Amino acid sequence: MKKVICFIYFVIFSFSVFSQVKNDPSPILFIYDASGSMWAKMEDKTRVEIAREILSNSINSLPTEQEIGLIAYGHRNKGDCEDVEFLVDLKNSDKEKVTKTIGEIKPLGMTPLSYSASLAIEDLKKSGQKATIILVTDGIESCDGNICEVIRTAKSNGIDFKLHIIGFGLKEEESEQLKCAAAAGDGQYFEAKDSGGLMGSLEEATKETVDSPPGNYGIKVTLNGQLIDALVQVLEPGTNKKVSLKRTYRDSVLIALPEGKSDLLVTALENTDLKPILLSDVSAAPDEITYRAVSFDGGKMLWDVTNNGEPWDATVNIFEAGTKKGVAGGRTYDRTKEFDLSPGIYDVQILALVISGEKGHRRENVEVKAGEKLELAFDYKTGIAKIGALLGSDLVDATVTIKDAATKANIAGMRTYTSSSSNPREFILTPGEYEVTVTAVSKELAGKKEVFLMKILAGETFEKTINF
């Protein structure tokens, strides 16, 4: 009986240990940029201050059992292309050790990206481990090396890893070699223009690890034939429940679709005027990668708003036709306002600024077609009213209230004060008849007022001064 009990215990214990080993995540190795350029300013801080804080927060959010290694470059010697150091071993699971080490690093030297990657890969080769490598850099290779070739060679030699690269504050034209390296390393290149971008990039990179199922669905997102940055969310079919997400960063990406059907919600990040595209009942073919292109090709709607033929500042808001659901909007600032819109039917509401009176204009059922440019215009017709207040030859502070003569609705109101710059007070009004009340403010005149009617004509000026 004892033998049976011992055997059962051994089986259960062995299964438990096997399960634990099987489910433990592979290590994550951070390669940290400590080159001199990390002292550059960003958002009223230095890049190194931002990187320390956000990288530490990201590390602290990782699972307790996650092993974390750290390599830094450029932190010991200025001008040294071999200044790369393995600061925390891959077997480490002490988060505080990593964040404390990051906090003590002082940026100083060069950006030896290829040598840093070589050191990381050599460690994986010796240990036989697989790992996720996340390289954070604010600069391109400043030594004699090609990180893309290093990664390609390592992959061809069968070393198991996934490489993500985060370009922190890099320009678009500086990222080509880094994109090449990330693609060769079965990972992704992330563009982090600011602290928020770095935070989001690290969140995605730490989730898409070497343990993640391989991508089986390739997707690229374009606008007018050009790759654009977009967010691809995998949803349970017929719901808004998110399964996973991936950002394209103006490139083709591979996503891992679960078995069966999924919905994909694709949102353009470079132009908020474009409506998201929902792809329903999407599935990947077994044992092969399915590729799909998503096009946001739409049309352009251009608005010129003028007042008596002169460019004018106004707000332009665009809605789905027959609804109050806004899809785009903005101010003209006396210039042509351009919107990139998905093909469809829209209602447009224009509201002139500075003008008083009937200053709203609505245009309904405006059709936008893919690949076409729709140029629209609206010209306000206005006149000017100049209302002043005097006592003899002296300027008088008074309130001027203007109402619609027929409806008595308030249209405009201001004070004249006792300055020649505001007395007479000028109003820009749409044509029509108005009731004007001028009320003295000073105690000496005890709220004395006068009421009169005025008619405003387009392009003309009405002037009246009340002498109390």
Fold of the domain spanning 299-380: Immunoglobulin-like (2.60.40)
Does the pLDDT of residue 7 top 60, yes or no?
A: no
- Provide the CATH number for the domain formed by 23-207 in this structure: 3.40.50.410
What pLDDT is recorded for position 20? 40
Q: Rounded CA gap, 429 and 355, in Å? A: 6
Please write the tens of the pLDDT for every residue from 411-420: 999 999 999 9
Tell me the per-residue pLDDT of 430-441, one tens digit each, with 9 for 90 and over: 999 999 999 999
pLDDT value of position 19: 39
Tally of CB atoms within 10 A around 28: 25
Domain range list for the chain? 23-207, 217-295, 299-380, 383-467
Counting beta carbons within 10 angstroms of the beta carbon of residue 234, is it exposed (0 to 12), middle (13 to 18) or buried (19 or more)? buried
Q: Domain 383-467 belongs to what topology?
A: Immunoglobulin-like (2.60.40)
pLDDT digits (tens, 9 = 90+) for 75-119: 999 889 999 999 999 999 999 999 999 999 999 999 999 999 999
Q: What is the DSSP string of 230-270?
A: EEEEEE-TTS--EEEEEE-SSS-EEE-PPSS-EEEEEEESS
> CATH topology of 217-295 equal to that of 383-467?
yes
DSSP 191: E
* Rounded (5°) CA angle 251-252-254: 135
Taken in order 139, 144, 148, 154, the sign of the CA dihedral is negative
Assigned CATH topology for domain 217-295: Immunoglobulin-like (2.60.40)
